[in-house]
Structure 1
């Protein structure tokens, strides 16, 4: 294969459903497959025969346009003409083309066997294992590769690339909710063709046995916080201690435990602190030791855990914790459940009674910060940031809330932060704007390295505000595997790849020692 798979042609027999009424639609696995190939970094097209109705040809052309694919007419009697047309259109050098076709296209398969393409055959439903190939496992027949489900194709392509390009490639199996995957993939972060540092990304799917998929990958990357069903806390425990994942995530966790040599970004136990706002606050307490050589200091906000807003000594506890109105109140559960982002800004101590924020909660110091928030992203040993508009200072919030009698300001932090105006601007690396001229980038970078070691996470983010007057840099939130979408792709994506590669190499070195 030389340079690996450099073009993929998917036959209409694989993606078109058999509708008796003549309507055109996609097969069950086609949407999954096309979405994975769309951002694979490998040219992809859809082929169809001359006998296909105009309605279905039009449908395929629409699908090709939707997924940014090409369309080719493929006549079984003149396969060579189409293969030459495809080769000229894609101009791939040093690689091989792949054709995916259903096994009910007998004539087409016979003619394809005479060309130098790699042929992957999707077996018809109900055919069984007459060829000695068990369901869900790729096999060979007459020099062709067999699959039973379209969900198998990305891993098949990955394995072909690894075989062609050598063992230096590292396969990264990833699993996350579709919307998050799309955010990463459309930026080119999940290519099926190797990156410049030798990574191949392949989606893991619950539609196939996870144990067999994990045997084919070198690294597992997940966004487990998207797969949380519930988080429980025993009355005797200060921290959250029981996380219930979806059935698929539980299966992944079990398979990972059975394959201890697999490199995971990151182990599930490592992300637990970012699920618990109280634990994170306590970790942030140790940051102040980093501020000895700086005019300002970096720290977490003052905080207090509350189990009951009606407790009689709450006012005294708030004073002892250096918490004065206004304060921001957040659920202790930081993510993964429906109400994790239901928060409130409280302006009067009496208004804690009956407050509509899930318990247990963390009351946190509200820091005046000129409506400017610095979002930091840590990708391995690289640190980036972006600047966002944020909530206004306390005096402005008070004025905004006087109309409703200074009642607590309730909001969902993912949807509607209380801001003066909606705007956003960003900076990367060492850029400077009017809003970040007081940012001590060296101090925050030092804190990022410290948190990376404390949390033992590969990719995470945190939010910093600069307190007016004191200049304190206050970390108000920490999160796992953020999208870092505000950092330009040409900067962020290579750093993302390098962070994964370093994690894999580091694990291998440690395993050999």
Structure 2
């Protein structure tokens, strides 16, 4: 057997197939949703072994690893991984903690989209932007005046500024009137709500691979409803069920997937700007248009278990990483 580049004989003296070791540090919830038995079996059949990292032992004492796959929070873990990357440059870490940290803040996560000009790369395949937004860091009583000064239009989606993995960081609210905004709890991001026909596109990125899934989202807010409704209302996790072309109540113009060249360029540019290989983009199409899109969220290491065929896509991605690494090694 070849383990991290070394060759070992099996019990019968016959050399076994090359194995690559992926050390993982995941929460129990992430492990259960991601490392499903079918995935582990497929990976093992293709020469990839998943090994749990023991958080009670020094990381350098474990392994050896070809790849480290992680999604843990906390300053201590970030420092452990940063130090390990310095002392073990031969190990691929998915992904660098400083790059992940960029997505922990909802103000900074979308700035890279703002800076893009995709029309330079894919002609008239579409436009991608972000909804107008502002950050409120303190004093909820000042929010109505701040919104007026900024010229943001109602309704507004309120999101916690920091994404820390807690359930609270995913609590969203929809505000229909300006004065109810003072009921919200800073620090938060206020984002203009864009009518998008009740469909959201989740764009999963795994290295160079892209997979798009439709999800149900919030329905359009009409001007008449906006005039009648007041208050701030919590939003449930509305994108839990996938929409499909079979949904008779959805306009085909709404469910049509964004152009593939646009998605490929967007994913490639964000990969380079963010320094991440595992992320997903939440994107909507402005209602009444075919080619105007908005990115409303970017998430690191999302729920790949909900992505069709993720087992094959992810296994091929891991294999490409280790094979690329061995190709780069100088011959003895």
TM more than 0.5: yes
- Where does residue 351 of structure 1 map in the other structure? 180
Paired residue for 1:266? 95
Residue 6 of structure 2 is matched in structure 1 by: none
CA distance in structure 2 between the aligned counterparts of 1:266 and 1:480, rounded to whole angstroms: 9
Match of 1:482 among 298, 302, 305: 302
Counterpart for residue 57 of structure 1: none
Contact conserved, 2:304 with 2:310, CA < 8 A, in 1?
A: yes
Structure showing greater relative contact order (alpha-carbon pairs closer than 8 Å, 6 or more residues apart): 2
Note if 1:200 corresponds to 2:49.
Answer: yes
**Within 2, Cα distance between the matches of 1:360 and 1:343?**
13
d(CA) in 2 for partners of 1:217, 1:256 = 12
Which of 228, 234, 237 is the aligned partner of 1:410? 234
Q: Distance in 2 between matches of 1:193 and 1:278?
A: 37
Q: d(CA) in 2 for partners of 1:171 and 1:458?
A: 19
1:501 and 2:316 matched: no
Alignment of 1:37-436 (within 5 A): 164-165=15-16, 168-191=18-41, 194-196=44-46, 198-214=47-63, 216-224=64-72, 227-228=73-74, 244-245=75-76, 251-290=80-119, 293-294=123-124, 296-308=126-138, 309-311=140-142, 313-319=145-151, 323-355=152-184, 357=185, 359-395=186-222, 398=225, 406-411=230-235, 416-417=236-237, 423-425=241-243, 434=252, 435-436=254-255
Q: Partner of 1:374: helix, strand, or coil?
A: strand
Alpha-carbon distance in 1 for matches of 2:97, 2:204: 20
Query: Aligned partners of 1:380, 1:361: CA distance in 2, in Å?
Result: 31
Counterpart Cα distance in 1 of 2:43 and 2:163: 36
Q: How far apart in 1 are the matches of 2:103 and 2:329?
A: 27
Deviation at 1:502, TM superposition (A): 2.9
Contact 1:377 / 1:461 at 8 angstroms: preserved in 2?
A: yes
Greater radius of gyration (CA): 1
For structure 2, the 5+ residue unaligned runs are 3-8, 246-250
State the Cα distance separating 1:187 from its structure 2 match: 4.9
CA deviation string 1:342-400 (max 9, x = no partner): 22111112222242x3x22211121101110111101111100111111111129947x
Consecutive unaligned residues in structure 1, runs of 5 or more: 3-94, 97-116, 119-159, 229-243, 428-432
Query: Structure 1 residues 341, 177: closer, same or farther in 2, change over 3 A?
Result: same
SS in 2 for 1:310: helix
Query: Aligned pair in 2 of structure 1 residues 368, 199: CA closer, same or farther (>3 Å)?
Result: same
Q: Deviations over 1:165-186 (max 9, x none)?
A: 36x4321111101222122222
Tell me how far apart the structure 2 counterparts of residues 451 and 440 of structure 1 sit (CA, whole Å): 17
Distance in 1, matches of 2:196 and 2:128, equals 14
CA contact 1:290–1:297 (8 Å) conserved in 2 = yes
Structure 1 residues 448 and 193, CA gap change in structure 2 (3 angstroms): closer
CA shift for structure 1 position 289: 3.5
**C-alpha contact (below 8 Å) 1:347/1:398 kept by paired residues:** no
The one of 269, 277, 296 equivalent to 1:450 is: 269
Q: Does the 8 Å contact 2:157/2:192 carry over to 1?
A: yes
Q: Is the 8 A contact 1:281 1:300 kept in 2?
A: yes
Q: 1:439 to 1:213 in 2, by over 3 A?
A: same
- The alpha-carbon distance between structure 1 residues 191 and 301, as it changes in their structure 2 partners (threshold 3 A), is same
Q: Contact 2:196 / 2:286 at 8 angstroms: preserved in 1?
A: yes
Shift of 1:468: 0.8
Equivalent pairs, count: 315
TM-score, structure 1 as length reference: 0.54
Q: Deviations over 1:298-343 (max 9, x none)?
A: 1222211222333385134321xxx200011111112324521122
Asked if 2 retains the 8 angstrom alpha-carbon contact of 1:192 and 1:201, the reply is: no
Q: Distance in 2 between matches of 1:418 and 1:339?
A: 16
The question of whether the paired residues in 2 share the 8 Å contact of 1:192 and 1:202 is answered with no
